[in-house]
């Protein structure tokens, strides 16, 4: 079982819709969770961090964490073509300092 799992996609959504990106992780002791956006040929950019169960909102982005289900998601409201990128879920397993990245979900927002 991979430590951090994401559907590779592509996930296609029409412009203006809500994009929902999902991620599961295997280490129940994980405490830190992140979402990064990576455009083709560029380095990852931190979008959100979340540490507690529940929702965390920042502009059009909402991160959701459910530690009991070992599940973290990212919702993007009012999706724009500029949101088209690969979204990386990242987790710090319990007792470690380094981040484990998922393989990423490619999002395509169709104008």
Give the CA diameter of the chain.
44
- Smallest distance from another protein to CB 34, Å: 7
Identify whether 10 is preceded by a cis peptide bond (ω within 30 of 0).
Answer: yes
Contact with another protein (CB under 8 A): which of 12, 46, 55, 77? 46
Residue count, binding to another protein (CB under 8 A)? 21
32 contacts another protein (rule: CB under 8 A): yes
Stretch of 13-21, 60-68, 71-79, 84-92 lying at the interface with another protein (CB under 8 A) = 84-92
Q: With binding defined as CB under 8 A, does residue 43 bind another protein?
A: yes
Which neighbouring-strand residues pair with 92?
32
Where do the DSSP E strands lie in the chain?
A: 4-5, 11-14, 19-25, 32-38, 45-50, 54-58, 61-66, 71-76, 85-92, 100-101, 105-110
When the beta carbons of 41 and 111 are compared against another protein, the nearer one is 41
**Binding flag, residue 20, another protein (CB under 8 A):** no
| SS3 label, residue 81 | helix
Residues that bind another protein (CB under 8 A): 32, 34, 36, 41-46, 49, 51, 88, 90, 92, 97-99, 101-104
């Amino acid at each position: 079982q991979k430590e951090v799992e994401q559907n590779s996609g592509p996930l296609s959504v029409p412009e203006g819709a809500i994009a929902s990106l999902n991620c599961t992780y295997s280490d129940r002791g994980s405490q830190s969770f992140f979402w990064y956006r990576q455009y083709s040929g560029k380095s990852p950019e931190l979008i959100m961090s979340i540490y507690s169960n529940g929702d965390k909102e920042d502009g059009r982005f909402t991160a959701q964490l459910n530690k009991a289900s070992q599940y973290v998601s990212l919702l993007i409201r009012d999706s724009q073509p500029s949101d088209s990128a690969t979204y990386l879920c990242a987790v710090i397993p319990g007792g470690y300092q380094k981040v484990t990245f998922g393989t990423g979900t490619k999002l395509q927002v169709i104008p």
